[in-house]
């Protein structure tokens, strides 16, 4: 055996012990600061309070076959935290759409505050890829977007894409905040989000502070038929800084 081997082993052990001591010391110094930072961040946020419609079906849906479906847990969504001062921006705001003459309902249904899954509360657009767009009136920092498609029965809407922009034509400065079009069949880029089954909770999307005046929502039919439906869209945010 090389005579230097024990010396090298001892030196390595001493080095590791010294490094460990440095890490412990750093943790003892930085730990409280990191905790304090976390507490400060928590104090700047509050739970987003939502008014949900009554559920239209119960139990775990079966026989919905789609290649990109998220795992169905049957559990309710947990609390979602937003910056203090966040408010509902979309109530009664004007709505535009790719389908100028909806098959059923009116565009105003999307922002009228009524989320029931019963007949008479939804707007129906024609088949294929369609979009609806909410004009918030001015640019905001967005912290939550909720969308209710038709939720009186279990179904999955295809190619759901949500974008934010200050350009009403969505040509420049477009930020995609949700995209479950996994194969880019809508032509807006392949998304990594999962498809989901409609429920009375709606789909809560985290725009992560994206700034914009307009919110555009796409879909391309559903697992029950080729039509596109919206019951309500809610957008929450704070004034842009």
Q: What ranges make up the beta strands (E) of the chain?
A: 45-47, 81-83, 87-88, 95-97, 123-125, 130-148, 161-165, 175-179, 203-205, 211-219, 228-230, 232-239
Number of domains in the chain: 1
Lowest-confidence region among 17-31, 96-110, 225-239: 17-31
Per-residue pLDDT reduced to its tens digit, 140-191: 999 999 999 999 989 999 999 999 999 999 999 999 999 999 999 999 999 9
Gyration radius from the chain CA atoms: 24
In a domain, 151, yes or no: yes
In a domain, 52, yes or no: yes
- Count of CB atoms within 10 A of residue 5's CB? 9
pLDDT at 230: 98
120 SS3 class: coil
In a domain, 81, yes or no: yes
By C-alpha distance, which of 140, 148, 56, 137 is closest to 110?
148
Show the domain range for 142. 45-239
Residue 5: CA count within 13 A, CB half-sphere: 3
* Alpha-carbon torsion (86, 92, 93, 98), positive or negative: positive
Per-residue pLDDT reduced to its tens digit, 59-109: 666 678 888 999 988 889 999 999 999 999 999 999 999 999 999 999 999
In a domain, 34, yes or no: no
In a domain, 33, yes or no: no
In a domain, 32, yes or no: no
For the record, the structure tokens of 27 come out as 């943790």
Measured CA angle at 226 (ends 224, 230), to 5 deg: 80
pLDDT at 110: 98
pLDDT at 179: 98
Is the pLDDT at 3 greater than 90? The verdict is: no
Higher pLDDT, 22 or 50: 50
Q: What pTM, to 2 d.p., does this model score?
A: 0.82
Residue 59's alpha-carbon distances to 55, 72, 108, 151, 199, in angstroms, are 11, 11, 31, 14, 11
pLDDT at 67: 86
In a domain, 124, yes or no: yes
- Count of CB atoms within 10 A of residue 93's CB? 17
CATH number at residue 132: 2.60.120.260
pLDDT at 36: 40
In a domain, 3, yes or no: no
Q: Confirm if 111 and 90 have CB atoms less than 8 A apart.
A: yes
């Amino acid at each position: 055996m090389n005579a230097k081997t024990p010396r090298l082993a001892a030196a390595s052990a001493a080095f590791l012990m010294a490094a460990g001591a440095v890490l412990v010391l750093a943790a003892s110094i930085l730990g409280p600061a990191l905790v304090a930072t976390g507490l400060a961040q928590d104090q700047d946020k509050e739970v987003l309070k939502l008014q949900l419609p009554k559920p239209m079906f119960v139990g775990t849906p079966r026989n919905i076959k789609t290649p990109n479906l998220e795992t169905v847990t049957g559990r309710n969504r947990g609390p979602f935290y937003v910056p203090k001062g966040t408010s509902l921006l979309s109530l009664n705001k004007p709505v535009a759409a790719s389908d100028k003459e909806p098959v059923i309902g009116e565009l105003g249904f999307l922002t009228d505050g009524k989320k029931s899954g019963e007949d008479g509360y939804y707007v129906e657009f024609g088949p294929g890829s369609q979009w609806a767009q909410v004009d918030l009136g001015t640019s905001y920092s967005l912290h939550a977007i909720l969308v209710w498609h038709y939720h009186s029965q279990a179904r999955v809407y295809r190619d759901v894409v949500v974008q934010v922009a200050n350009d009403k034509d969505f040509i420049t400065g477009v930020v995609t905040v949700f995209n479950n079009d996994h194969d880019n069949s809508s032509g807006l880029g392949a998304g990594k989000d999962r498809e989901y089954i409609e429920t009375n909770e709606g789909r809560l999307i985290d725009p992560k502070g994206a700034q914009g005046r307009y919110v555009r929502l796409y879909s391309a039919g559903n697992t029950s038929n080729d039509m596109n439906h919206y019951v309500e869209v809610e957008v929450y945010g704070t004034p842009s800084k």
